A = this chain, B = another copy of it.
């Protein structure tokens, strides 16, 4: 059985690492938060000094980190994964980062005869805990085949998207659609509320037709109930849209609604909603507070 190194034990990474331990993988772990490391060590993992150290002990190295610069530093930086990883090993980044960074890392590791995959996920912490994440994978097919048992432990909807970066492109498309659809639902429900139409009836009626979406169903219910507990934090969705907008700029694709939604999320963060659920963008004009 492959020895796995796991770097980044946050809300997502922690439960993912535990699921790998449960099925019998031996795990070397690293996080900037000592408490998160302790928890995994108690569950049977070994701790390491730095990313280089993790890589030295592992056949497969997985990262689950907040953003592109974090992954760049952990993989390509001083004492980075690239310093310790063995020829023939496999690197899997499961963070949501810029496709361009996935390609940069892929190329750097290829020079060391190390395969790599971009494998961002969706499904939130519930999906991480239950091992039911959706995983969108880019990279060489042989690397995908090799990683498949690991993905099967972590997720359910496992899709090979194509070459390096294709996983991240798919994830950023997901974040565009979820973010803009959320704003669509927010505008509609705010208007209906102002016009004093029963929001539950509106949601129910629209779920029966072409306006149907998971966002109207799930996030729509949260908006109506006024439940803004995360869920998916506004500041993280905002970070993800930054990746979308950067990628749009590189590819010369205008993304007007994505750009507007990013601005509205900035307005939400300026109002202190960054740690709340992304549905709080519905509150930035305060219209939903009108009785």
Contacts and interface: CB of A to CB of B under 8 A. Distances in A.
Interface stretch (A4-12, A86-94, A207-215): A207-215
A265 B248 CA distance: 20
Contact of A213 (B192, B204, B213): B213
Contact of A174 (B211, B218, B257): B211
A190 to B, nearest CB: 5
Identical chains bound together, number? 2
A247 interface: yes
A169 B184 contact: no
B208 A134 contact: yes
B255 A205 contact: no
B253 A191 contact: yes
Nearest to A212: B214
A43 interface: no
A227 interface: no
A181 B261 contact: no
A161 B205 contact: yes
B258 A187 contact: yes
Given A187-B176, A191-B172, A198-B162, A209 B157 contact: yes
Interface in A26-67: none
Contacts of A162: 196-198, 201
Given A214-B213, A257-B187, A173 B192 contact: yes
A177 B173 contact: no
A264 interface: yes
A98 to B, nearest CB: 11
A118 to B, nearest CB: 12
A165 interface: yes
Interface in A270-287: 285, 287
29 contacts: A99-B195, A122-B209, A134-B208, A134-B209, A159-B205, A161-B205, A162-B198, A166-B197, A169-B192, A169-B195, A169-B202, A170-B205, A177-B181, A177-B206, A178-B211, A179-B184, A181-B213, A184-B257, A187-B248, A187-B257, A191-B244, A191-B253, A194-B253, A210-B215, A213-B214, A252-B287, A253-B287, A254-B287, A260-B260
Given A161-B197, A181-B181, 18 more contacts: A122-B209, A134-B205, A159-B201, A161-B198, A161-B202, A162-B201, A165-B195, A169-B195, A170-B192, A174-B188, A174-B210, A176-B184, A176-B188, A181-B184, A256-B260, A257-B257, A257-B260, A257-B261
